[in-house]
Amino acid sequence: VKRIFHFHEGNANMKYLLGGKGANLAEMTNIGLPTPPGFTITTDVCREYYKCNGRLPEGLFDEVSSALKELEQVKQQTFGDPENPLLVSVRSGSVASMPGMMDTILNLGLNDQTVKGLAKNAQDARFAYDCYRRLIQMFGNVVFGVESHSFEIKIHEIKMKNKYQHDSDISAEDLQFLIDEFKQLIKYHSNREFPQDVNVQLSLAIEAVFESWNNQRAKVYRKAYGIPSEQGTAVNIQSMVFGNLGEESGTGVLFTRDPSTGEANLFGEFLTNAQGEDVVAGVRTPIAIEFLKDQFSEIYNQLYEIASLLEKQYKDMQDIEFTIENNKLYILQTRNGKRTAQASVKIAVDLSKDGLITKKDALQRIEVNQLEQLFHRSIDDQNKLDVIAKGLPASSGAASGKVVFDPDTAQQLANDGEKVILVRIETTPEDIHGVFAAEGVLTSRGGMTSHAAVVARGMGKPCVCGCNELEIDLKAKTFMVGDITVNEGDWISIDGSSGQVIQGEIKLKDPEISEELSTLLNWADEIRELKVYANADNGIDAKKAREFGAEGIGLCRTEHMFMSPSRLPIVQNMIMAQTFEERRVHLDRLLPWQQSDFEDLFHEMNGLPVTIRLLDPPLHEFLPKLEELLLQKQRVDLGVDTETNIKELDSLINKVRNLHEMNPMLGQRGCRLGILFPEIYDMQIEAIFRAILSSLKKGIEVMPQLMIPLISDVNELKRLRELVNQVAKEILGEEIKYCHYEVGTMIEVPRAALTADEIAQYADFFSFGTNDLTQMTFGYSRDDAEGKFLDRYTEEHILENNPFEVLDQKGVGKLIQWSVENGKSVKPNLKTGVCGEHGGNKESIFYCQQIGLDYVSCSPYRIPLARIAAAQSAI
Ligand code: ADP
Ligand code: MG
Ligand code: MG
């Protein structure tokens, strides 16, 4: 087999064999771009290398040598020739791009002799010795494992000693001195000699690149992105060009579009008189690419042409590495550029409008899980900000709130309805309740991957971290920045997208759907087959949902209407009632409220279905906790609390004790409540039909769907359906002719799924409550599984995913499929869908499409995401 390909022998489709970098270098060579010539050792060889226990396969080096011969002829230089040496880079290049994870060595082929030849030919000794010290440094680091830091210290020392400002101030003599020091460093740290034999350099470098496939960074990266570890890396050997030849030279990076906004402008950075990683290393601040226009105007134009050529070639935004050697441009790498969600949407739409890709391609380019980024609140007016500090932009979105310094206070204030920003030196897992309660998090320590950052991103909360200008005094509950002191309770704002910390409250705006996103969503709607509904319990959410393109409400949780502070006492009285009559009195007070809630929903969803689920949770969820009541009783007994009526308290305690269940999730809830306390469901149903009546009168087109939760036997549904029909008749009277309503059920208990054919006889629709269905199918209590044993299960690959996040297709999915098939066998036009967290999850949406469900229902902010995922699943 062919183990080595010259760049002119390959092309972009050979990624798997040549790695991304090699395949693209080949492609660029073939379309005539100025790419320094070279060749690629295939990824096959890497796999062979590991099979031979980390040795270069038999005969490989001979093949490398003859490939090198060809290169020597093209370049008219010879590898290791003291007069006219050929220099090469040895570059890693995996199949999937893993930026910066593996190793590359530049300037290979220099030794104590050839460096003189290079100096003479370039008429620049400083340049030659600079290349040599870079080689020794990279080689020492990559091949011999000497920390780069040790080398950097030496460079720093020499600069300090001579009061040099820039690396470029270091003279040829200094460099020669450094080279000696570097060689000694290698000797000292690894007990090896920097090899003078250029062929030894080359073979060690190739081995080191293969080895770098298994370095720690690369492993972590592969795990995070699911890149298979048997893929291996290719090795690219490429003749050098030099950006460090003086002021007419330099090196840079260029994105063909802005990777953060997607704007169709060149975006990039450049450093004169520099080589390789200098741009990213951050030692010198690079200049923006636009400045090339003045200094290198022709090259700028050439880059501009190449950028658009490469975009056309790859039909995607490119991330390009280039070098200028004495005013001549070379392209060293191109790849599809990484980008933010915003940019990815804009770029996909723009490319499609330019005719480079189809609408379907554009939709498939979108990483749905990344789209969430787009739905954060942001700063309304950039101009009026009183910025006092800047930290790392760790989790995007902006927030305002009162400063608090500990999680407990954060929680207390938030419970009282206050907005708070949690300010900590750093956060630990114990702070989690405070993070939950806060609008945003600000820390003075820790980077983008610190606990605070990770947790905040997970919750979609704004976070600025590592803001080390802050001097936090936890005892005094203040922080200082410069001469500003901020006390607990003062208002501040943070912008997790820019890292800004701002004094005072600022105006925030709700996320909007950009023009491009809305175009893309329209395309999605043309293609998708699944309907997308929203989970919404009030008019505001319903309105938002409709703006985002919901085609109805798939789940209105009526219990949320019971939780508001003004209604809760009545709900509690209703639960406490001793007699049916007494209960009815309280229910009658709740009725008009429920009715107006439903009217709001019908109003917002005019012409679209609204699915209303009758009361689901166990009643004790509406009552205070027993421990709290007992504490209160203690205070009464001690005479500390003289306000509370002890008799009422005792009866409350009694009731709470009565309602206590060992396993509330499997207890008296869902339809079981409706059977035991028909008066509660009765009130809810009455409120629904009254709302229907009054909406009809206003000319609103209502499509009500009443949904009964937690059915496990057909007789439950039969009974409650009769109740619905009876109330409907009473309330609607003659109007019933004009009102089509449907009655359906949640399928969330395995037995319901298994007896779906019976249940379908009494159901117009099935809505799969996948949270409960997962819980009960696995026999996991969700609250006890997540963050506890489930983490271990996924870490140890007992389960591949958390089934509460990604729908379990094998088990839970089988129940769903069974229900759909058996339900439809009885009632062919039975409607089916999924509500619950899975409705907004990409993999789960794909699965719903695959098994032919009619709709998914998810929270309003996930609707755009669901529309796109639904379209992708139908392509
Ligand atoms: P990474 O995959 O980490 O980006 P690369 O192999 O792309 O590593 O090398 C890093 C940088 O080294 C390149 O961006 C380029 O600036 C420089 N480089 C690599 N090969 C050459 C070469 N043949 N001539 C000049 N510079 C090179
Ligand atoms: Mg690179
Ligand atoms: Mg449920």
Return binding residues for Mg(2+): 748, 772
Q: Which of 89, 98, 108, 326 to mutate to test the pocket of ligand 1 (most atoms within 8 A of CB)?
A: 89
Task: Determine whether the shortest distance from the Cβ of 323 to ligand 1 is under 6 A.
Answer: yes
Closest by alpha carbon to 804, among 824, 825, 829, 784? Answer: 784
Question: What's the pLDDT score for residue 839?
Answer: 78
Q: Where in the chain is the domain with CATH 3.20.20.60?
A: 528-618+661-874
Cα dihedral 646, 648, 652, 658 sign: positive
Q: Which two tokens stand for residue 380?
A: 């309304």
Nearest CA to ligand 1 atom 12: 276
Q: Is 603 exposed, middle or buried (0-12, 13-18, 19+ CB in 10 A)?
A: middle
Q: What is the pLDDT of residues 337-349, one digit of tens each?
A: 888 788 899 999 9
Question: What's the pLDDT score for residue 494?
Answer: 96
Confidence class for position 566, pLDDT limits 50, 70, 90:
confident
Q: What is the pLDDT of residues 756-796, one digit of tens each?
A: 999 999 999 999 999 899 999 999 988 788 777 888 898 88
> Cα separation of 167 and 789, whole Å?
53
Task: Determine whether the shortest distance from the Cβ of 94 to ligand 1 is under 6 A.
Answer: no
Task: Determine whether the shortest distance from the Cβ of 241 to ligand 1 is under 6 A.
Answer: yes
> Would you say residue 165 has pLDDT above 80?
yes
User: Counting atoms of ligand 1 from 1, which one is nearest the CA of 321?
Assistant: 14
Closest by alpha carbon to 503, among 353, 385, 597, 616? Answer: 385
Q: Which two tokens stand for residue 687?
A: 């409120």
User: Measured at the alpha carbon of residue 227, what is the angle toward residues 221 and 228, in degrees to the nearest 5?
Assistant: 125
Q: What is the pLDDT of residues 456-485, one digit of tens each?
A: 765 668 899 889 899 999 999 999 999 999
Task: Determine whether the shortest distance from the Cβ of 819 to ligand 1 is under 6 A.
Answer: no
Task: Determine whether the shortest distance from the Cβ of 271 to ligand 1 is under 6 A.
Answer: no
Q: What is the pLDDT of residues 505-556, one digit of tens each?
A: 998 888 888 899 999 999 999 999 999 999 998 898 899 899 999 999 999 9
Q: Is 798 exposed, middle or buried (0-12, 13-18, 19+ CB in 10 A)?
A: exposed
Question: What's the pLDDT score for residue 725?
Answer: 97
Q: What is the pLDDT of residues 584-617, one digit of tens each?
A: 999 999 999 999 999 999 999 999 999 999 999 8
Encode burial over 645-664: b for 16+ CB neighbours within 10 A, e otherwise. Answer: eeeebeebbebbeebeeeeb
> Would you say residue 834 has pLDDT above 90?
yes
Confidence class for position 136, pLDDT limits 50, 70, 90:
very high
Residue pair 151/170 in contact (Cβ under 8 Å)? The answer is no
Return binding residues: 557, 613, 748, 769-772
**Which ligand has the shortest distance to the CA of 103?**
1
Q: Measure CA 202 to chain center.
A: 40
Collapse the DSSP code of 248 into the 3-class scheme (helix H, G, I; strand E, B; otherwise coil) and give the result.
Answer: coil
Active-site residue flag, 451: yes
Confidence class for position 102, pLDDT limits 50, 70, 90:
confident
Nearest CA to ligand 1 atom 18: 276
User: Counting atoms of ligand 1 from 1, which one is nearest the CA of 276?
Assistant: 16
**Which ligand has the shortest distance to the CA of 782?**
3
| Annotated active-site residue in 131, 463, 556, 835 | 835
> Cα separation of 448 and 391, whole Å?
10
Cα dihedral 356, 362, 364, 365 sign: positive
335: CA distance to ligand 2 center in Å? 9
Average pLDDT on 800-806 reads: 88
Average the pLDDT over each of 22-31, 269-278, 411-420, 611-620 and give the range with the smallest value.
Answer: 269-278
Which helix (H) or strand (E) covers residue 555, if one does? strand 553-557
Question: What's the pLDDT score for residue 264?
Answer: 93
**Which ligand has the shortest distance to the CA of 108?**
1
Max avg pLDDT among 107-111, 248-252, 334-338, 472-476: 107-111
**Fold annotation for 250-336:** D-amino Acid Aminotransferase; Chain A, domain 1 (3.30.470)
**520 residue type, one letter:** L
Task: Determine whether the shortest distance from the Cβ of 107 to ligand 1 is under 6 A.
Answer: no
> Cα separation of 301 and 188, whole Å?
49
* Gyration radius of the chain's alpha carbons: 34
Task: Determine whether the shortest distance from the Cβ of 321 to ligand 1 is under 6 A.
Answer: yes
**Where are the strands (E) in 65-207, listed by range?**
88-94, 104-108
Task: Determine whether the shortest distance from the Cβ of 91 to ligand 1 is under 6 A.
Answer: yes
Confidence class for position 48, pLDDT limits 50, 70, 90:
very high
99: CA distance to ligand 2 center in Å? 7
> Would you say residue 281 has pLDDT above 60?
no
Question: What's the pLDDT score for residue 776?
Answer: 95
Closest by alpha carbon to 212, among 88, 92, 389, 392? Answer: 92
Max avg pLDDT among 45-59, 159-173, 566-580: 45-59
* 528-618+661-874 is a CATH 3.40.50.300 domain: no
Nearest CA to ligand 1 atom 9: 104
Helices (H), 284-406: 292-295, 297-314, 341-353, 359-365
Pick 275 or 703 by higher pLDDT. Answer: 703
**297 residue type, one letter:** S
Question: What's the pLDDT score for residue 283?
Answer: 53
Q: Which of 323, 325, 326, 328 to mutate to test the pocket of ligand 1 (most atoms within 8 A of CB)?
A: 323
Question: What's the pLDDT score for residue 225?
Answer: 77
321: CA distance to ligand 2 center in Å? 6
CATH number of 377-509: 3.50.30.10
Find the Cα–Cα–Cα–Cα dihedral 14, 19, 22, 27, rounded to 10°.
30
235: CA distance to ligand 1 center in Å? 12
333: CA distance to ligand 2 center in Å? 6
Residue count (the chain): 875
Closest by alpha carbon to 461, among 422, 403, 413, 408? Answer: 422
Please state the ipTM of this predicted complex.
Answer: 0.93
Cα-based distances in Å from 49 to 145, 442, 874: 20, 48, 42
Task: Determine whether the shortest distance from the Cβ of 106 to ligand 1 is under 6 A.
Answer: yes
> Cα separation of 43 and 49, whole Å?
10
**Which ligand has the shortest distance to the CA of 253?**
1
Q: Which two tokens stand for residue 515?
A: 């023009």
Which helix (H) or strand (E) covers residue 557, if one does? strand 553-557
Cα-based distances in Å from 777 to 557, 592, 711, 811, 832: 22, 38, 15, 7, 19
Location of structure tokens 């002021």: 247
Q: Which two tokens stand for residue 402?
A: 């009162």
**Which ligand has the shortest distance to the CA of 321?**
1
Residue 787 DSSP code: I
Question: What's the pLDDT score for residue 284?
Answer: 63
CB atoms < 10 A from the CB of 797, how many?
Answer: 7
> Cα separation of 476 and 497, whole Å?
29
> Cα separation of 817 and 768, whole Å?
11
> Cα separation of 714 and 745, whole Å?
10
295: CA distance to ligand 1 center in Å? 23
Location of structure tokens 């699965």: 847
Collapse the DSSP code of 122 into the 3-class scheme (helix H, G, I; strand E, B; otherwise coil) and give the result.
Answer: helix
Encode burial over 138-160: b for 16+ CB neighbours within 10 A, e otherwise. Answer: bbbbbbbebeeebbeebbeebbe
717: CA distance to ligand 3 center in Å? 15
Q: In this prediction, what percent of the chain has a pLDDT beyond 90?
A: 67
Q: Where in the chain is the domain with CATH 3.30.470.20?
A: 250-336
> Cα separation of 389 and 494, whole Å?
10
Question: What's the pLDDT score for residue 628?
Answer: 83
Q: Which two tokens stand for residue 315?
A: 């039909």
Q: What is the pLDDT of residues 408-452, one digit of tens each?
A: 999 999 989 999 999 999 877 667 788 888 999 999 987 665 667
Task: Determine whether the shortest distance from the Cβ of 240 to ligand 1 is under 6 A.
Answer: yes
Question: How many helices (DSSP H) and strands (DSSP E) are in the chain?
Answer: 34, 31
Active-site residue flag, 835: yes
Kind of pairing between the strands at 742-747 and 765-769? parallel
Max avg pLDDT among 380-394, 441-455, 850-864: 850-864
| Annotated active-site residue in 376, 451, 586, 838 | 451
Q: Where in the chain is the domain with CATH 3.50.30.10?
A: 377-509
Nearest CA to ligand 1 atom 22: 240
Question: What's the pLDDT score for residue 563?
Answer: 76
User: Measured at the alpha carbon of residue 8, what is the angle toward residues 5 and 9, in degrees to the nearest 5?
Assistant: 45
